[in-house]
């Protein structure tokens, strides 16, 4: 019986030997990124990179190194007919066809937090196995906090924001959730690092608007579940939050009203309006 090969295996078998030579792979990947290969070789590299992991990795490496040049490039809003043509060709519904200006549109962008989590999980799964455990535990943790503490604390209180704060090595430190109607902050401490007697851990909220950090208070030593009623001012800070950070401060918290540069953990705030809607 003849051997059955998948398209990938077939392609690997027919892969020219030169694509296995690391020096040639490096040369092709860098010149591909730079755009200096001839059209024929460029296409060849593009096809091979689908099956040749080493080649694909080197292309990603070079693209990631050069992309800052693209990020510095001045924006140029396209003509309105560009999107109209695309929408027509892809049969995209009418309401999406009107582009109301790039700046207005970007303000309207809403990303479903469920998708954020799924995407985040997907991205972790392509990382080295050593990081699976911590990534997975953080995710389980977040889900547990959302679905266990919610009925426990605030049965009918719509959850508004969640932030999973992790240490530099990816270990979860704490999960902070806020509830919209009662304006309560629930902090679930997962893995507290030990601190000296003359030191305290302080929680800060970093503003989206001015990138300044403002204190939400000192985290009490030894407590695993902290519930705090937020003032109107603090609630406004949460609504404008980009991320939360925990810093190591002198006992009782920062005397300066500013966080020290000893950041123990940090995490982005995710707004959970969509979850409420879907619940």
Q: Which of residues 71-130 bind other proteins (CB under 8 A)?
A: 71-79, 81-83, 85-87, 89-90, 92-93, 96, 99, 102, 105-106, 108-109, 111-112, 115-116, 118-119, 122-127
Q: Tell me the closest approach of the beta carbon of residue 198 to other proteins, in angstroms.
A: 14
Look up residue 62 and give its two tokens: 């070079």
> Does the footprint of other proteins cover residue 203 (CB under 8 A)?
no
> Does the footprint of other proteins cover residue 164 (CB under 8 A)?
no
| Residue span binding other proteins (CB under 8 A) among the ranges 4-12, 14-22, 190-198, 228-236 | 190-198
Nearest to 276 by CA among 142, 120, 112: 112
| Residue span binding other proteins (CB under 8 A) among the ranges 34-42, 140-148, 151-159, 222-230 | 34-42
Q: Tell me the closest approach of the beta carbon of residue 103 to other proteins, in angstroms.
A: 8
Q: Tell me the closest approach of the beta carbon of residue 127 to other proteins, in angstroms.
A: 6
- Provide the β-strand partners of residue 244: 205, 267
- Tell me how far apart the alpha carbons of residues 200 and 186 are, in angstroms, rounded to a whole number: 19
Cβ proximity of 27 and 36 under 8 Å: no
Q: Return the CA Rg of the chain.
A: 25
Q: Tell me the closest approach of the beta carbon of residue 191 to other proteins, in angstroms.
A: 8
Q: Tell me the closest approach of the beta carbon of residue 106 to other proteins, in angstroms.
A: 5
Cβ proximity of 241 and 213 under 8 Å: no
The torsion angles phi and psi of 19, rounded to 5 degrees, stand at -75, -5
- Tell me how far apart the alpha carbons of residues 98 and 108 are, in angstroms, rounded to a whole number: 13
Query: Which of 50, 144, 221, 225 lies at the binding interface for other proteins (CB under 8 A)?
Result: 50
Look up residue 102 and give its two tokens: 């790039």
Tell me, what DSSP letter sits at residue 256?
Answer: S
- Tell me how far apart the alpha carbons of residues 212 and 234 are, in angstroms, rounded to a whole number: 14
Q: Which is nearer to other proteins, 3 or 100 (CB)?
A: 100
Q: Tell me the closest approach of the beta carbon of residue 228 to other proteins, in angstroms.
A: 22
**Count of chain residues binding other proteins (CB under 8 A):** 81
Q: Which is nearer to other proteins, 36 or 231 (CB)?
A: 36
């Amino acid at each position: 019986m003849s051997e059955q090969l998948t398209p990938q295996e077939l392609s690997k078998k027919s892969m020219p030997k030169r694509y296995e030579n690391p020096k040639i792979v490096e040369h092709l990947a860098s010149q591909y990124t730079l755009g200096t290969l001839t059209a024929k070789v460029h296409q060849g590299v593009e096809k091979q990179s689908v099956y040749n992991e080493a080649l694909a990795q080197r292309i990603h490496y070079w693209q990631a190194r050069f992309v800052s040049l693209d990020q510095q490039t001045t924006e140029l809003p396209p003509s309105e007919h560009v999107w109209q043509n695309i929408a027509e060709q892809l049969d995209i519904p009418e309401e999406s066809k009107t582009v109301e200006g790039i700046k207005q549109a970007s303000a309207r962008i809403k990303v479903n937090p469920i998708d954020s989590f799924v995407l985040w999980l997907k991205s972790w799964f392509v990382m080295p196995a050593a990081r699976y455990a911590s990534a997975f535990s953080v995710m389980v943790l977040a889900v547990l906090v959302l679905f266990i503490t919610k009925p426990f604390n605030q049965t009918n209180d719509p959850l508004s924001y969640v932030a999973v704060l992790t240490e530099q090595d990816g270990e979860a430190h704490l999960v902070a959730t806020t509830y919209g109607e009662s304006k309560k902050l629930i902090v679930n401490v997962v893995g507290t690092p030990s601190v000296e007697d003359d030191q305290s851990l302080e929680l800060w909220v970093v503003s989206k608007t001015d990138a300044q950090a403002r204190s939400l208070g000192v985290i009490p030593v030894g407590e695993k579940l902290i519930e705090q009623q937020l003032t109107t001012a603090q609630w406004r800070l949460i609504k404008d939050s980009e991320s939360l950070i925990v810093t190591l401060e002198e006992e009782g918290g920062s005397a300066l009203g500013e966080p020290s540069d000893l950041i123990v953990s940090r995490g982005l705030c995710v707004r959970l309006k969509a979850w409420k809607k879907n619940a």
